Structure 1
Amino acid sequence: MSRVEREAAARRIMEQTPPRVPPDLCADAVRLGDRLLRRRTLALRLAWLLLWAATVAFTVWALTVRPWVEPPSETTPPLTGW
């Protein structure tokens, strides 16, 4: 397609009447945006709730198991000097 043909095609497209926009397009877009915003907010709240629950579970586990404490010895030292 040459430059002249492209220009002619562009002129034909620009001379046509623009397509009609549905009258309820704005309302549909607002409704869709509101729904997406609610879903995103719900997902964010669920993520924070999951993070909080994991933190609480880890804290309870750490306080009960105490992994930083050395476990007791499994063998007894030899008894000498009796």
Structure 2
Amino acid sequence: MNRIEREAAARRLMERTPPPVPPDLHGEVLRRGGRMLRRRRRTRRLLWLLLCAAAVAFTVWAATVHPWAEPPSTTTPPVSNW
């Protein structure tokens, strides 16, 4: 197929009338799209809530346990009364 034939075939495809669209398609698309947006919004809010709860739980744990402090040494007895 040469260039002219390809262009003619492409023009024929573009000039064809599109198939008819069902009349209730627009309403169905709006309904499904709205439902998807609500579901995504709800999921996003739940994930943010879980992230904030995890941050608060970590902060409380770190404040009570002090994981940055070195534990006292148990291998050497303390020196007293020189």
TM-score bracket for the superposition, by shorter chain length? 0.7 to 0.9
Deviation (angstroms), 1:52 = 0.8
Residue type of the partner of 1:24? D
One-letter identity of the residue aligned with 1:22: P
Normalised by the length of structure 1, the TM-score is 0.77
Name 1:3's counterpart in structure 2: 3
| Residues 1-60 of structure 1: per-residue CA shift (max 9 Å, x gap) | 122322332343345333111101111111121011012101110110111111111011
Report sequence identity in percent: 64
SS in structure 2 at match of 1:77: coil
Q: Please report the RMSD computed on the Cα atoms of aligned residues, expressed in angstroms.
A: 2.0
Map of 2:38 onto structure 1: 38
Task: Give how far 1:71 is off.
Answer: 1.9
Stretches of structure 1 lacking an aligned partner (at least 5 in a row): none
Counterpart residue type for residue 77 of structure 1: P
Q: TM-score, normalised by structure 2?
A: 0.77
Aligned length: 81
* Structure 1 residues 53-81: Cα deviation after superposition (integer angstroms, max 9, x where no partner): 11111011111211233322323223344
Question: Which residue is equivalent to 1:65?
Answer: 65
Structure 2 stretches of 5 or more lacking a match? none
